[in-house]
Amino acid sequence: MSYCELQVTSNFSFLRGASHPEELVETAAGLGYGALAITDRNSLAGIVRAHMAAKKNGLRLLPACRLDLQDAPSVLAYPVNKAGYTRLCGLLSTGNLRTEKGACLLYRRDLEEANADIQFALVPPEQFSAAYDFAPAFYKAAAYFRELLDDRLSLLATCSYEGQDAKRLFRLAALSQKTGSPLLASNDVYYHVPERRQLQDVLTCVREKTTIQQAGYLLHRNAERHLKAIDEMQRLFQHYPAALIRSLELEDICRFSLDSLEYVYPEEVKHPDRTAQQELAELTWIGAKERFPENIPDKVRQALEKELHFVEEKNYASYFLTVYDIVRFARSQNILCQGRGSAANSSICYCLGITSVDPSEFDLLFERFVSSARDEPPDIDVDFEHERREEVIQYIYNKYGRDRAAIVATVTELHQKGAIRDVGKAMGLSIDTINRLSENMRHHSYEWLEEKKAYAQERAPQDPYLCKVLELTRQMMGFPRQLGQHTGGFVISQHPLTELCPILNARMENRTCIEWNKDDIEDLRFMKVDVLGLGMLTCLRKAFELAKKYYNLDWTLAGIPQNEKEVYDMISRADTLGVFQIESRAQQTMLPRLKPKEFYDLVIEVAIVRPGPIQGDMVHPYLRRRNGEEPVEYPSPELEAILKRTLGVPLFQEQAMKIAIDAAGFTPAEADGLRRSMATFKAKGKVNDFETKLIDGMLAKGYTEEFAKRIFRQLEGFGSYGFPESHAVSFALLVYVSSWIKCFYPDIFATALLNSMPMGFYQPAQIINDAVKHGVEVRPVDINFSDWDNVLEEGAGKHKAIRLGFRQVKGLKEEEVQVLMNKRGQGYRSMNQLWEATRLSALTLEKMADADAFRSIGLDRRKALWEIAAYNDRPIALFREQPVALPYEKNIQLPLLTEAENVVLDYAATSLTVRAHPLSFIRDQLTSLHVLAAADLKKAKDGDNVRVAGLILVRQRPGTASGICFITLEDETGFSNLVVFAPLFEAFRKPILQSKLLMVEGKLQVEGAVIHVIVQKCYNLNGLLKRLTMVESVPTLTVSRDFK
Amino acid sequence: MQKSFVCIWFRYLKTDRTVIRQPALKSQPLVLISPVHGKMVITAANAIAHAQGIDRGISLADARAMIPGLLSLNDQPEKAVRWLNALGGYCNRFSPSVSLSGTDTLFIDATGCSHLWGGDAGYLSAIRNAFDAIGYQVRLAMAGTPGAAWALTRYGKDSTIAAPNRQMDVLLPLPPAALQLDPELVARFDKLGLKTICQLLQIPRPALLRRFGQALLDRVDACSGARIESWEPVFPPVEHQQRLASLEPIITLAGVEIALQTLLEKMIRQLSQEGLGIRQAVFTGFRSRQKPVSIRVGTSQPVQDLRRVFRLFEMKFDRLSLEPGIESFLLEVPRTEPVQHRQEKIWNGSAAADNEALAELIDRISNKFGASRISRFLPAEHHWPERAFRKATSLVEEKTSAWPAVERPVLLLPVPEKVEVSAPVPDYPPLLFRHKGVVHEIVSADGPERIEQEWWLQEGIARDYYIVEDKAGQRYWLFRSGHYQPGSRPDWYLHGYFA
């Protein structure tokens, strides 16, 4: 006799199950089970993982779930075949879509409508009366279900060791006899091994928002709800052997497997008379003629033929067509977009307009990315303008319908900080203790936990409680906690998605999701298109529009002239503020060392400054080799083939994977598994298996251990941040295009950037400063000249002038500004006329006054405010348009604003100023403190002791930089870059965190064009700033004493 | 008569109070926090934290970034007014008329009071000393209007005393915010460059009225004294107090006795209605042009007996100096406690509980053999049997949870007693057991009920409990400690008897 377990709650029943699906499956396999069902509550979220693990461990997974009904006892549901599975998905979707995210409301009537092809098992209640019987409601429900489901209903029987097992089994057997529903034995499993009971108790406390001390009877009294050996189950049910046999019968009846799910590409993207492949070929060649109107270069023609052949072989045509359709929609709406990803680097994509990287100029080598050996679905991510991505998303929903298109889920996993918080709270620790435990946590959790444990043992070896908390935290890390929404991954299918998987409402309005995440659907080989938002595309589209409007130029992503030396010179000077990707400080310090000269250098630049390569220590070798300081050599010819483009230094994800395959003997699937699981390894602690395999494989092929270890370290870094070359190529194009615009049209560039805010690293103030430095005139916001957006006006010099728009003014709404613009006519002449014309609220006008926007009618911000203050008492009827001031107000003279005060108030209202930089007003004081201006640092020498001061622009403490803090200061002459090492940061924490104006002393470090100040002392100079706005003159007049 | 007001600003009321309660926290930065939108935000910071740049409104995380390990306690915002109220009561010694403002400010109507302390300066320093002694840091000012006094505590020099009718002179250099204006209005003045009240007042009133409304002018007038602000003394701040004014100054002890008698009668009537008794009482006589005199008594338990309290006061009468005569009396009871009334029933409800004789019996037994001999048990929510109950602390205590839903013995042995059994492995009920030399043959049994250790309290092995009945019809609760494993035989125990 044998048995299989059909009632298993995994940790995808959030805060209930205490084991991962994989753990349950592996344990079941170890116990000799031939099959296992996962029955999470109203959810199928965990079954793909369980299925994949089951395949690996040679057992069969029954996809199933527990249906918690609102008006009846719960039942377990086991689909018998594909139809039953589809019905179950539909049922769950109904319950999900009925309510908000995270809940599923199901009723009897739902079950009455959809129950065919599904086997059910009724869960008896936990309560058992003093007369040793179940409540009458349960008997009624049993009869009801029996009538509804006939012989498709079983009764669950469990030995829970809670003292009444014999009596419960007896009652259930009697009921079974009476109704004819067979008994089904189960152990109501919540964890794979009994040791997990403690964690399950903690989860119960978290769920019930109580502490372990208070939980009382909410907890179970024993640890029996684990997977038990088959012979033990046989012993427990020795009086009811039929209940065990029933489990095997059910297993035999339920033949459905996730493997038989068949994903079908949507078909409406093609002409009905053609096959998808014909359609793709047709569109591709039409596109090719548009891209190359003269004639198609041979190189491209050959590539296209080869690619089309490959696509046909792999049956990917529908996928390309689906992406093409989305892109075509975006273009018809004038939404800028660009594809990236493995399949995107194809000539096909270029001809279809999905990408803009010209295959005649660059080696794309499609098959470098999509290797036919690696049998995985193609991957294209499409970036859209971030402000208009929602239009694309709604287009997809509308075109395919909500039943056929949905966003992929993300499974939010508990990281150490959340885990320790939950466990600590449940264990009744004080908030202070929890904070102490969780402080200084690093990203990589394993080392951290070991460290904490060592600390706890050292400090309080007698405190097993604390050690217990840490141990439970370790177990809980990586637990799924909720289903979120992927940033833009869409699954689109020919048939309703509910045939494949339940769908649910996302937290955002008008979005629906499926229950599975991207790894799950990749395992099942579903198609996914990533519809992502990218701020730079918004900026570029706006730049294109400005070019058309003010210069009458037609720009496109693919049409910007390539290989302009001036652009590369500018990039090499790190003059890249605002440019895509290479504007960060880390990038800017890299640029003068790398000195990009051609497009591929930009590809490398994009990939090189990332946590991955830095962590893997791969950056400096590349630079050294490039600058000829180190010989370029390859450990073997096979590595030369892989690493030639990057001078022998692996920089891209694809290279690292290729090394694993070619140099360590991984199968492509293993290499992919390695890459994919890297991110989650840390939590699950399986990293060692792969490390050993990789290093052994490479040693066997004759590589040195040191080199093998270096490769592995890099792979580790890639896990979370790694950048594939296929993405870098597309990004590099945006880098080039944005640099080109900045280089030749700084006026357009700054305006487009400002109109796309918020994005990037820099604030409007820095963008404007930068524009001014490049010879662009910037004009202030004004009621008579400004639009909502920033616009261009005729300028005196080479470039047009930027007229700041009202979008820069805090607190204004676009509709209000529209009113102002619509009624402007020949221009406003007085406050009263403006009032009469616009009827804008005093509050709105006040905000405009704060921004000093009334200069063109002769009012500075104070005078304007003074007039607005009389808003409710303005002259009307006969006296309309008269000046506001009444005769007796004639002599009121408000205190005059100094220029410094104006600057401070500009910042307050718009976060920027077109006047002088605030620091220019205190330069004298700074000079007397021996402070150098940022521009003067260039004149100092390496190792000099210097003092610099400036407004703090950026403070960064990257997790990977072991506590080093990077600070960028700004003064009227430019930026200065500071490095603060960890101990110093601790010592000067307060000035660093509290200062707006910071002064530091330190040593200058000059490396070529890269200048850093290694900080030794910090001073808070906020006092100096405050003085800018101090009242300079003490009031001289006295008010008459008898003022009453 | 020229009015005069003192404003007391308890700059660090909540943190001072915390430190008074926990002196160990003195001399270190300390903040109080409350959750706002799920984030812990600082609602009060003590002087030390404040000096380091920590202020209300910033998040605890930010503050911790500046001062690692910053001590934070949960704020109890609802309590501040209560504390302030109590402090107002304390101020009664300086004036009969005290008023509250916001959650951190007191006003004293000092009109005609300060000469008792040798003048205005002496008056202010007496107030300051009084609060210093308790542990509150205060800022003080005295002026002809409450508004002016408020302005000076916030924006003026500490302890400023404005000359009579000259409060506006000292206000002129202060910022407009000192007029207690709407923050939006203050911001607008700032933008207009009107940084002092003086600048503001240079503008003709009609222009101010047009733009900023009557409320502004009202505030100006209230500060200047042109308009009298409403004044609501908050008392009685001590919840229980009684006053008695005499027609003419009393200089005889007999008169004092009558006054005390009268006040006590009223007081005890009030207290007994509320079910309270006196734990502390203060009897104060306000003399004309002299400091008030008072005597204070305390009791060990709440008392409602007039004679008893009177006698306590009587013993201290010699400390009362009556010259030159007491104009009014005040009796305050700052501390009360519920009176324990004599029990009329012992157990409510059940038949046995109604039985007074039983209650008497319990009393007699516990008095004769010691209280520990008699216990009453209530359920405690634990699966582990030894922890599944607790001793009640009184006869009337209600249970806070249910007894477990499963069968439990009527008598649970305090210490399980070892037995020898003969039982089939692994976890079937025993066939017989031997206890104290007697062999019990088991005829029926139920189990096992497996109970694991409550791991957060104690680690250890699980027990399998069985309910068994022997041939004699007696039922027992047996358990096996641990499981049968190759090479080890777990012990069996008797843990209780069923009825």
How confident is the model over B357-384, as pLDDT tens digits?
Answer: 666 677 777 777 777 777 888 888 899 9
Question: From residue B442, how far is each of B100, B431, B478, B482, B493 by CA, in Å?
Answer: 78, 5, 11, 21, 15
How confident is the model over A620-641, as pLDDT tens digits?
Answer: 678 888 888 888 888 788 888 8
Lowest-pLDDT choice from A307-321, B80-94, B182-196: B80-94
Task: Name the token pair of A170.
Answer: 């007896």
Distance, CA of B261 to CA of B268 (rounded, Å): 11
Question: From residue B24, how far is each of B19, B20, B28, B64 by CA, in Å?
Answer: 7, 9, 9, 20
Left if phi > 0, otherwise alpha if psi is -120 to 50, otherwise beta: which for A665? Answer: left
Contacts of A890 by beta carbon, 8 Å cutoff, 6+ apart: none
Question: What local confidence, expressed as pLDDT, does residue A886 receive?
Answer: 56
Q: Is A162 helix (H, G, I), strand (E, B) or coil?
A: strand
The mean pLDDT of A535-561, rounded to a whole number, is 91
The mean pLDDT of A853-877, rounded to a whole number, is 80
Contact: A862, B193; criterion CB under 8 Å? yes
Dihedral (Cα; A703, A706, A712, A716), 10-degree rounding: -170
Q: Are B232 and B88 in contact (CB under 8 A)?
A: no
Give the closest of A222, A866, A895 to B451, CB-based: A222
Q: Three-class SS string for chain B?
A: CCCCEEEEEECCHHHHHHHHHCHHHCCCCEEEEEEECCEEEEEEECHHHHHCCCCCCCEHHHHHHHCCCCEEEECCHHHHHHHHHHHHHHHHHCCCCEEEECCCEEEEECCCCHHHHCCHHHHHHHHHHHHHHHCCCEEEEEECCHHHHHHHHHHCCCCEECCCCCHHHHHCCCCHHHHCCCHHHHHHHHHHCCCCHHHHHCCCHHHHHHHHCHHHHHHHHHHHCCCCCCCCCCCCCCCCEEEEEEEEEECCHHHHHHHHHHHHHHHHHHHHHHCEEEEEEEEEEEECCCCCEEEEEEEEEEECCHHHHHHHHHCCHHHCCCCCCEEEEEEEEEEEEECCCCCCCCCCCCHHHHCHHHHHHHHHHHHHHCHHHCCCEEECCCCCHHHCEEECCCCCCCCCCCCCCCCCCCEEEEEEEEEEEECCCCCCCCCEEEECCEEEEEEEEEEEEEECCCCCCCCCCCEEEEEEEECCCCEEEEEEECCCECCECCEEEEEEECC
Residue with tokens 């869960």: A123
Distance, CA of A525 to CA of A52 (rounded, Å): 12
Max CA distance (Å), chain A: 108
Question: What local confidence, expressed as pLDDT, does residue A395 receive?
Answer: 92
Task: Name the token pair of A109.
Answer: 């009537």
Please report the residues numbered 388 through 427 in chain A whose beta carbons come closer than 8 angstroms to any beta carbon of chain B: 427
Distance, CA of A187 to CA of A551 (rounded, Å): 76
Contact: A888, B405; criterion CB under 8 Å? no
Q: Is A586 helix (H, G, I), strand (E, B) or coil?
A: helix
Residue B425, Cβ neighbours under 10 Å: how many? 9
Does B223 score more than 80 pLDDT?
yes
Q: Three-class SS string for A235-295?
A: HHCCCCHHHHHHHHHHHHHCCCCHHHCCCCCCCCCCCCCCCHHHHHHHHHHHHHHHHCCCC
Distance, CA of B120 to CA of B123 (rounded, Å): 5
pLDDT band per the 50, 70, 90 thresholds, residue A1038: very low
Q: Between helices B77-90 and B13-21, what is the axis angle to 10°?
A: 80
pLDDT band per the 50, 70, 90 thresholds, residue A250: very high
Distance, CA of A997 to CA of B163 (rounded, Å): 42
Give the closest of A213, A905, A994 to B53, CB-based: A994
Do strands A1010-1020 and B276-287 pair parallel, antiparallel, or not at all (unpaired)? unpaired
- Among A808, A801, A793, smallest CA distance to A747 is for A801
Rounded to the nearest integer, the mean pLDDT of chain A is: 84
Say which DSSP state A337 is in: E
Q: Which phi and psi (to 5°) does residue A777 adopt?
A: -85, 135
Q: Which residue of A has its CA nearest to B447?
A: A163
Does B470 score more than 70 pLDDT?
yes
Give the closest of B199, B383, B406 to A164, CB-based: B406
Choose, out of B218, B456, B484, the residue to mutate when testing the contact with A (most A CBs < 10 Å).
B456
Q: Are A323 and A392 in contact (CB under 8 A)?
A: no
Task: Name the token pair of A351.
Answer: 């001809």
Residue A608, Cβ neighbours under 10 Å: how many? 25
Q: How many Cα atoms are found within 13 Å in the side-chain-facing hemisphere of B69?
A: 2
Distance, CA of B290 to CA of A268 (rounded, Å): 101
Distance, CA of A703 to CA of A697 (rounded, Å): 9
Contact: A895, B193; criterion CB under 8 Å? yes
pLDDT band per the 50, 70, 90 thresholds, residue B349: very low
Question: What local confidence, expressed as pLDDT, does residue A365 receive?
Answer: 55
pLDDT band per the 50, 70, 90 thresholds, residue A373: very low
How confident is the model over B310-333, as pLDDT tens digits?
Answer: 888 888 888 888 877 887 788 888
pLDDT band per the 50, 70, 90 thresholds, residue B439: very high
| Chain B environment of A222 (Cβ under 8 Å) | 450-452, 462
Q: Which helix (H) or strand (E) holds A458?
A: helix A445-459
| Chain B environment of A191 (Cβ under 8 Å) | none
Question: What local confidence, expressed as pLDDT, does residue A442 receive?
Answer: 43
Rounded to the nearest integer, the mean pLDDT of chain B is: 84
Distance, CA of A197 to CA of A217 (rounded, Å): 15
Does A451 score more than 70 pLDDT?
no
Does B213 score more than 90 pLDDT?
no
Left if phi > 0, otherwise alpha if psi is -120 to 50, otherwise beta: which for A925? Answer: alpha
Contact: B210, A167; criterion CB under 8 Å? no
- Among A386, A395, A301, smallest CA distance to A350 is for A301
Contact: A869, B447; criterion CB under 8 Å? no
Task: Name the token pair of B62.
Answer: 């930010």
Give the closest of A164, A905, A1043 to B224, CB-based: A1043
Amino acid of residue B379: P
pLDDT band per the 50, 70, 90 thresholds, residue B301: confident
Does A647 score more than 50 pLDDT?
yes
Task: Name the token pair of A329.
Answer: 């929609």
| Chain A environment of B401 (Cβ under 8 Å) | 216-217
Give the closest of A127, A1034, A1044 to B221, CB-based: A1044
Contact: A1035, B202; criterion CB under 8 Å? yes
Instruction: Determine the distance in angstroms separating the CA of B266 from the nearest CA of chain A, rounded to an integer.
Output: 47
Choose, out of B191, B384, B446, B457, the residue to mutate when testing the contact with A (most A CBs < 10 Å).
B191
Lowest-pLDDT choice from A76-90, A551-565, B331-345: B331-345
Question: What local confidence, expressed as pLDDT, does residue A28 receive?
Answer: 95
How confident is the model over A746-803, as pLDDT tens digits?
Answer: 999 999 999 998 877 788 888 998 899 899 999 999 999 999 999 999 888 889 999 9
Q: Which residue of B has its CA nearest to A194?
A: B452
Contact: B455, A994; criterion CB under 8 Å? no
Lowest-pLDDT choice from A343-347, A485-489, A531-535, A1039-1043: A1039-1043
Q: Are A134 and A123 in contact (CB under 8 A)?
A: no
Question: What local confidence, expressed as pLDDT, does residue B129 receive?
Answer: 87
Q: Which phi and psi (to 5°) does residue A115 adopt?
A: -140, -5
Choose, out of A127, A158, A1039, the residue to mutate when testing the contact with B (most B CBs < 10 Å).
A1039
Q: Please indicate if any CB of chain B lies within 8 Å of the CB of A213.
A: yes
pLDDT band per the 50, 70, 90 thresholds, residue A439: low
Contact: B192, A865; criterion CB under 8 Å? yes
Distance, CA of B476 to CA of A530 (rounded, Å): 68
The mean pLDDT of A594-598, rounded to a whole number, is 89
Q: Which phi and psi (to 5°) does residue A665 adopt?
A: 70, 25
Residue scoring higher pLDDT (A981 or A882): A981
Q: Which helix (H) or strand (E) holds A385?
A: strand A380-385
How confident is the model over A264-300, as pLDDT tens digits?
Answer: 888 877 777 888 899 999 999 999 999 888 888 888 8
Contact: A216, B381; criterion CB under 8 Å? yes
The mean pLDDT of A862-881, rounded to a whole number, is 71
Task: Name the token pair of A561.
Answer: 């002239």
How confident is the model over A104-154, as pLDDT tens digits?
Answer: 999 999 999 989 999 999 999 988 887 888 999 999 999 999 999 999 999
Q: Is A553 helix (H, G, I), strand (E, B) or coil?
A: coil
Question: What local confidence, expressed as pLDDT, does residue A25 receive?
Answer: 95
Task: Name the token pair of A878.
Answer: 């006969």
pLDDT band per the 50, 70, 90 thresholds, residue A683: very low
Residue scoring higher pLDDT (B442 or A908): B442
Question: From residue A28, how far is each of A61, A325, B203, B438 by CA, in Å?
Answer: 11, 46, 87, 47
Give the closest of A873, A994, A1044 to B224, CB-based: A1044
Question: What local confidence, expressed as pLDDT, does residue B341 receive?
Answer: 62
How confident is the model over A205-238, as pLDDT tens digits?
Answer: 999 999 998 888 899 999 999 999 999 999 999 9
